[in-house]
Amino acid sequence: MPADTSRGTIAAEAGVAKPDPILVADGVQRQFGGLRAVDVEHVEVQRGAITALIGPNGAGKTTFFNLLTGFDRPDTGEWTFDGRSLARVPAFKVARLGMVRTFQLTKALSRLTVMENMKLGATEQRGERFLSALLPPLWRSQERQIEQRADHLLQRFKLAHMRDEFAGSLSGGQRKLLEMARALMSRPQLIMLDEPMAGVNPALKQSLLDHVREVREDGTSVLFVEHDMDVVRDISDWVVVMAEGRIIAESAPEDIGRNQAVVDAYLGAHHDAALSFEEEERQLKSAEQAIAAQREEVQ
Amino acid sequence: MDWLTILQRTFTNAIGQEFIVYGLAAIGLNLHFGYTGLLNFGQVAFVAAGAYGVATVVATFSLPLWLGVLAGIALPLMLAALLGIPTLRLRADYLAIVTIAGSEIVRLVARSPSLRSITNGSYGLSQFGGDFYALNPIPDGRYGIWRITFDANATWYLLVGWTLVALATLLILVLIRSPWGRVLKSIREDEDAPRSLGKNVYVYKLQSLAVGGVIAAFGGIMFAIGSQSVQPDNYGTPLTFFAYCALILGGMARVGGPVIGAAMFWGLLAFTENTLRNAVEAGYIPSGLMDTVQVGQVRFMLVGLGLMLLMIFRPQGVFGDKRELALDAR
């Protein structure tokens, strides 16, 4: 794995350059009223590695995901995927280019069967065009191939026995598995998982972790958001830390706990010192400004 | 009580002109709402587009029927683009508001005095079905079974209408079993999922709106030809709601649901009306409580009550799958 061999050479600092990045973001900003939800100066995601994106609640991780995948538009910023600029590219085109995401709240399509969910993931289906849909002989053979691939993936994700059940009858953890398997049906180059382990029981968690590793072995890059530090330490090759919309630190997973900026972000910069009068004044003022700005936005 | 006549009228209504018109409108609605999740409350606009397409071309411009039918297909396609392009990015409830307004705009435009030279305003157009009945290959006489019989022209009309209903049902069956239909269903469930998998959700919604709209427009064409007239006020919002009733009664997201539902809806209306009328005339219902004039309104109340009970005790409709409804992850 390129990630493992080169990890030692990458400096543990925010926005550090990496060899062969698949995703590069520059100056991506997103403002919600007075709140700057995302303000990323520079970040690179390495190809062939598992990169974890962590940060306290409200750090802007999911918003950053939405921006990168075209589900939301940034106010400013440029980012490239595999050397191609993705600014103002709609979400469905981003997915077609090979950058596929999952959602924090799983979007297993309840009233479709597990198999139908899987088949939906396949790209460039002839039968998805309206006119050729009317002529089954045009797409039937392709459909069979897709079904075979789906069966194979379902087996790997231990969902084969649920093949013909409605996805709505799956447990929360199984839905996470299904969503990941469905995303893999499109043969992505980069898969972006938003909290893949949330709400998954420990037994299933272990197999999900194995799956994520397998995905990397198959040559797919992985970027995932996660709160569970054990998971992050366990499988990620590199960790990027966000707080208040910014990338505040990057490092190998073993060293992340020793990073002062990370500790401050999670526990507060002054967790061991009383606020000075001036500092309190300054914080109050900035809060008031934020509220005023929000009001203006509303009006 | 003349039960034979009541039954005769019930069955005649259940397979007659209303069945064909509302059946086609409901089949289109099933594609919109049942499969794609588009809460289209303006289905009547498509029906009107079909009806006015054929009526204006034949009656106003004195052109042949086939051109009228072409116009009856082209107009709803234009309407789908006009209605869909600005609104299909909206969330379901907003789409409902916009489509109901859109359908009223269509009706008001059709009856506007400034268009009198084309649509004849609020008087509408009439006598343009000659070409259709001239094509009738059926010799004179009465056709049917038992006491349900029709003359040659009515038989011709019904055969064409039933064929259209059958073809539309077949079209939906083929489409829904294709990967294209799978994408539609995924949009109904949660449109962000297909979007994240590289499907252009917007285009699929537009296609669904157009296909369902054209199917409904054929209902409009049959409505216009069957009654030999178009009048703008026949194309008000109740038509949309009746089509929804038929759809819900039969079962949503079921290929045969809207067809069975339309037959049941009109059969039920005829049954309650004729039963009540008979009962009033025979004195079973005292005239102080209800007279024969009021029967027309009371039948809607009863059918409405029936629909409420259906929604409470069998929300999936007569042919729906309970399994599909019981699951709702959202």
Residues of chain A found within 8 Å of residue B253, distances taken between Cβ atoms = 111
Question: What pLDDT sits at residue A13?
Answer: 78
Please state, in angstroms and rounded to a whole number, the distance separating the CA atoms of residues A172 and A174: 5
- Judge whether B330 lies within some domain: no
- Judge whether B76 lies within some domain: yes
Q: Where are the alpha helices (DSSP H) in B56-91?
A: 65-87
- Range among A9-18, A79-88, A103-112 rated most confident: A79-88
pLDDT surpasses 90 at B288: no
pLDDT surpasses 80 at B320: no
- Judge whether B71 lies within some domain: yes
Q: Verify whether the Cβ–Cβ distance A91 to B185 is below 8 Å.
A: no
Question: What pLDDT sits at residue B251?
Answer: 85
Q: Does B207 touch chain A (CB under 8 A)?
A: yes
Question: Does residue A127 contact residue B180 with C-beta atoms inside 8 Å?
Answer: yes
Question: What pLDDT sits at residue B187?
Answer: 93
- Judge whether B44 lies within some domain: yes
Question: What pLDDT sits at residue B327?
Answer: 46
All residues at 6 or more sequence positions from A106 whose CB lies less than 8 Å from its CB, including other chains: A172, A175, A176, A178, A179
Band of residue A6 on the pLDDT scale cut at 50, 70, 90? very low
Nearest CA to B59 out of B126, B134, B123, B131 is that of B126
Q: What is the pLDDT of residues A32-43, one digit of tens each?
A: 888 889 999 999
Q: Which domain holds residue B196?
A: 3-325
How confident is the model over A56-72, as a mean pLDDT?
90
- Judge whether B121 lies within some domain: yes
**This prediction's pTM:** 0.87
Which phi and psi angles does A157 have, rounded to 5°?
-95, 10
- Judge whether B66 lies within some domain: yes
The full set of domain ranges for chain A reads 1-108+187-267, 109-169, 269-299
Relative orientation angle of helices B17-29 and B3-14, to the nearest 10 degrees: 40
Question: What pLDDT sits at residue A269?
Answer: 61
Angle at B281 between CA B279 and CA B286, to 5 degrees: 70
Q: Higher pLDDT residue, B206 or B127?
A: B206
Number of domains in chain B: 1
**CATH architecture under which domain A1-108+187-267 falls:** 3-Layer(aba) Sandwich (3.40)
Q: Which of B191, B197, B211, B322 to mutate to test binding with chain A, by most A CBs within 10 Å of its CB?
A: B197
Residues of chain A found within 8 Å of residue B193, distances taken between Cβ atoms = 103, 107, 109, 120
Question: Does residue A145 contact residue A122 with C-beta atoms inside 8 Å?
Answer: no
- Judge whether B300 lies within some domain: yes
Q: Verify whether the Cβ–Cβ distance A133 to B200 is below 8 Å.
A: no
Half-sphere exposure of A278 (CA within 13 A, CB side): 0
Question: What pLDDT sits at residue A2?
Answer: 44
Q: What is the pLDDT of residues B145-157, one digit of tens each?
A: 888 888 888 899 9
Q: Does B77 touch chain A (CB under 8 A)?
A: no
Which residue matches tokens 């505040």? A248
Q: What is the pLDDT of residues A173-210, one digit of tens each?
A: 889 889 999 999 999 999 999 988 887 888 888 888 88
Q: Tell me, what CATH number does B144's domain have?
A: 1.10.3470
Distances in Å between the Cα of B229 and the Cα atoms of A271, B51, B125, B315 are 81, 9, 5, 37
Distances in Å between the Cα of B303 and the Cα atoms of A43, A78, B249, B310, B316 are 63, 60, 11, 10, 17
Q: Verify whether the Cβ–Cβ distance B207 to A130 is below 8 Å.
A: yes
Q: Does A72 touch chain B (CB under 8 A)?
A: no
